[in-house]
Amino acid sequence: MHKLILWDIDHTLIETGGVGGEVFKNAFEQVTGRHIDRLADVTGRTEQVIFRETLDLYNIEDPGDYFPKFVEAQAAGYRARADEMRRRGRALPGAREALQAFAELPNITQTVLTGNPEPSAIAKLETFDLARYLDLEIGAYGNDNSVRPNLVRIAQTRATKRTGRNHTRESTYIIGDTVSDVEAAHKGGAQAIAVSSGKTDASQLREAGATLVLASLADTKKVTYAIAGTTIAQLTISMASVSSAHGI
């Protein structure tokens, strides 16, 4: 079975070390012309929702073009502060290894399902040199839809066009760190693998209905086995056996 993996980004693959909040604030102020000292709740939510609720916090009326302008300003902010984000933030333990492992397995397509707008998502992943393992053209982003579960079908449809294979709940996996990621999987049509690497603890993720909860991505074998039913070591042995049998 061909499988589709949809990765969350923040606190699953990377941490920005506080740069993310600062970039949001600066972009928001640039677009609206208003100073702010707090944001709406950000955990597991799409950027559209965070942006809209932050507007509401300050009773700011949106003329209709604020969010598209914000998306551009935010992405520019991430790119301008890429070096700083590398200093203050990090790719989380095991993230690079897990992405690389899945990239080497057959019958796996991996991309992202994230509340980040596409330009900011790409900027973050490129900053930590993770983008190369993912097919980002078929991802689902916070500027595609404000409702996170709706992003599942968007990603599945894009992946089907790319691979020619139908992607269903049985073959689609969301890997994320929040209850919102788990709920998006259940409501949107995917299975949920949770990583307690963010602010949500393992018990909350289990209670939300995650199929599997990992403490981190550090155990690459466990991560790949959970989805692919194999590990890189097993795949290497299997391929070596086939090559030997055919005299390759």
Mean pLDDT of 78-82: 99
Q: Name the nearest CA neighbour of 2 among 110, 101, 99.
A: 110
**In this predicted structure, what is the pLDDT of residue 211?**
94
**In this predicted structure, what is the pLDDT of residue 96?**
98
CA–CA gap between residue 211 and residue 55 (Å, rounded) = 36
**CATH class of the domain whose range is 3-15+90-243:** alpha beta
**In this predicted structure, what is the pLDDT of residue 228?**
87
CA–CA gap between residue 228 and residue 102 (Å, rounded) = 8
Confidence category of residue 132, pLDDT binned at 50, 70, 90: very high
Q: Confirm whether pTM is higher than 0.85.
A: yes
User: Under a CB-based contact definition with an 8 Å cutoff, are residues 10 and 16 in contact?
Assistant: yes
Model confidence at 238: pLDDT above 70: no
Cα distances from 107 to residues 102, 120, 171, in angstroms, run 9, 28, 11
Beta pairing, strands 191-195 & 212-214? parallel
SS3 185: helix
Confidence category of residue 235, pLDDT binned at 50, 70, 90: very low
SS3 184: helix
* Predicted confidence (pLDDT) per residue in 205-221, tens digit: 999 999 999 999 999 89
CA–CA gap between residue 7 and residue 18 (Å, rounded) = 21
Model confidence at 67: pLDDT above 90: yes
Half-sphere exposure of 72 (CA within 13 A, CB side): 6
Model confidence at 4: pLDDT above 50: yes
DSSP one-letter code for 1: -
**In this predicted structure, what is the pLDDT of residue 44?**
84
Torsional sign, CA 54, 39, 179, 3: positive
CA–CA gap between residue 66 and residue 174 (Å, rounded) = 30
**In this predicted structure, what is the pLDDT of residue 234?**
46
User: And the tokens for 9?
Assistant: 């980004």
Mean pLDDT value across the chain: 92
User: Under a CB-based contact definition with an 8 Å cutoff, are residues 177 and 196 in contact?
Assistant: yes
- % of the chain surpassing 70 pLDDT: 92
User: Under a CB-based contact definition with an 8 Å cutoff, are residues 135 and 162 in contact?
Assistant: yes
User: And the tokens for 131?
Assistant: 């983008």
Model confidence at 91: pLDDT above 70: yes
